[in-house]
Amino acid sequence: MTAIRIDGVARAFGAVAAVRGVTLDIRDGEFFTLLGPSGCGKTTLLRMVAGFCDLDSGTIHFGERRIDTVPPHKRNAGMVFQNYAIFPNLTVNGNVAYGLKARGIVPDQIDDRAAKALKLVHLDGYGARWPHQLSGGQLQRVALARCLVIEPEVILLDEPLSNLDAKLRVEMRGEIRQLQKRLGITALYVTHDQEEAMAISDRIAVMNAGSVEQIGQPVDIYQRPATPFVARFMGTTNLLSGSVIRHEGDRAVVRAGGHDFLVGAPGIAEAEPGKAIGFSLRPEALTITAPGAKPPPGWASLEARVVRIEFLGALTRIELALDSGLVLHAAAVDMPRALAEGPVALSYDPARVTAFPGPCD
C-alpha cells in the first residue's frame, strides 16, 4: 500500500532550476505520468524519487515513510530507464537476478523469483539467452522483469518505450498498464508523448520549465487545459487572443483576429467587457457544412474557406481561412465526401471553448 507524496521538491544545477517546488500526491495503485517537453525536469524529479539525485529542498514520502533521506536500494522502488541499462555481459537470468543478489536474497530463492518475473513479462524460457540475442521489445521486457523481481512498492519508468518502433510502443504501453493494474502497484511514469500519457495514465501532471502546470485525468487535461501551454502541448488546437465585447446570457462575444467568436467556457460570464482573454478551440470541435447551412441551435457560426485538406486515413485535417486571413484548423473523423477547397460554413458549440484569464502568447 504505497501512496507517493512529493512536497515542495526543488533542485537546481548551477544556474539551471531543473525542478522548482513541485508538490504531487500520487495515490496508492495509481498510474501517474509526468508529461512535458524536453528539459522540463521530468527525469530529475523521477531520479529524486528513486534516490539518484539529491533534493535542494522539500520531502518525499512513500506512505508514512519519509524516503528522500534513505539510500536508493532501501527505498523499495524499481526503476526502468530509457536505454534499458541491461548488462551485456550477463544472461537474461543474470540481469533479472542482479537486484536480488545485491539485496542478499538466498541463492535457491533467486532462480525461482527470476523465473516468475520473466513469466510476468512473457519471457519464460529466455533466461539463458544473451542480451544481444534479443529484440528491442524483448530487452525492454527484461528491464521490466528486472524492476519487478524485487517486488517493489512503486515502479518508476523513464521513457521506457522511446527506443521502440511506433507499433511496438503502442503494444508495450498496453502491456505495462495491464501488468501494473494486475499487480496493483503504484507507477510513476515519464514521457514527452502526450498520446502515450493519455492512453495509459490515471492522472497526468503536465510540466513546463521545472513546474507543474496542471494535474488531472487525461480527458480533463485535454478538454479543459488550465493554461495555453497545456492546450498547445496536448495536441493540435486553435489558440486565439481577443477582447470581450459583450455578454449573451452566460456566454461572451470575443473579438479575435477581426472576427466575433461566441465563447461559452466556464467562468466566462465573469469576464468584464474590454478584458483581454485567450481561448482554445480544438479542431474536432469545428463542424464544416455547406455555405449558408444553419448551425444547430445555440451554436456559433462563421464563414470560411477551405484552403488545405490533409487526408490521414482515420482523420482528415482541414485548414480554413476566414475573410480577415485568420487561419483555423479543423479535423473530421470521416473524410466528408463533398469536401473541397472553397467557401463553407463553420460552426461550433461555444461550450467546447476553453478560456484563459489572459491573452495567449
Ligand X SMILES: Nc1ncnc2c1ncn2[C@@H]1O[C@H](COP(=O)(O)OP(=O)(O)OP(=O)(O)O)[C@@H](O)[C@H]1O
Chain contacts with ligand X (rule: CB under 6 A) = 13, 16, 18, 36, 38-44, 192
The b/e string for 284-323 (b: 16+ C-beta within 10 A; e otherwise) is: bbbbbeeeeeebeeebbbbebebeeeeeeeeebebbbebe
Please choose, out of 43-51, 65-73, 124-132, 176-184, the segment that lies near Mg ion by the rule CB under 5 A: 43-51
Helices (H), the chain: 42-50, 92-102, 107-120, 136-148, 166-183, 194-200, 218-223, 228-233
Contact call for residue 180 and Mg ion (CB under 5 A): no
278 binds, among ligand X, Mg ion, none (CB under 5 to 8 A by kind): none
Whole-angstrom distance, CA of residue 163 vs CA of residue 84? 9
3-state secondary structure (DSSP) of residue 91 = coil
40 binds, among Mg ion, ligand X, none (CB under 5 to 8 A by kind): ligand X
Whose Cβ is closer to ligand X: residue 81's or residue 299's? 81
13 binds, among Mg ion, ligand X, none (CB under 5 to 8 A by kind): ligand X
In angstroms, give the least distance from the CB of 95 to Mg ion. Answer: 23
The b/e string for 56-74 (b: 16+ C-beta within 10 A; e otherwise) is: eebebbbeeeebbeeeeee
H or E element in which residue 287 lies? strand 287-289
In angstroms, give the least distance from the CB of 43 to Mg ion. Answer: 3
44 binds, among Mg ion, ligand X, none (CB under 5 to 8 A by kind): ligand X
In angstroms, give the least distance from the CB of 35 to ligand X. Answer: 10
- Taking residue 118's Cβ as centre, other Cβ atoms within 10 Å add up to 23
Whose Cβ is closer to Mg ion: residue 2's or residue 44's? 44
Whose Cβ is closer to ligand X: residue 14's or residue 274's? 14
332 binds, among Mg ion, ligand X, none (CB under 5 to 8 A by kind): none
In angstroms, give the least distance from the CB of 57 to ligand X. Answer: 16
Please choose, out of 40-48, 168-176, 329-337, 338-346, the segment that lies near Mg ion by the rule CB under 5 A: 40-48
Please choose, out of 35-43, 71-79, 122-130, 290-298, the segment that lies near Mg ion by the rule CB under 5 A: 35-43
41 binds, among Mg ion, ligand X, none (CB under 5 to 8 A by kind): ligand X
Whose Cβ is closer to Mg ion: residue 35's or residue 302's? 35
Whose Cβ is closer to Mg ion: residue 47's or residue 251's? 47
Q: Are 87 and 43 in contact (CB under 8 A)?
A: no
Q: Are 214 and 230 in contact (CB under 8 A)?
A: yes
How many angstroms separate the Cα of 269 from the Cα of each of 41, 79, 138, 246, 297?
A: 37, 47, 55, 10, 20
Q: Are 123 and 133 in contact (CB under 8 A)?
A: no
Whose Cβ is closer to Mg ion: residue 200's or residue 328's? 200
Residue selected from 33, 43, 93, 186 as contacting Mg ion according to rule CB under 5 A: 43
Length of the chain: 361
Lookup result for grid cell 452566460 = 250
Q: Are 112 and 119 in contact (CB under 8 A)?
A: no
Interface ranges with Mg ion (CB under 5 A): 43
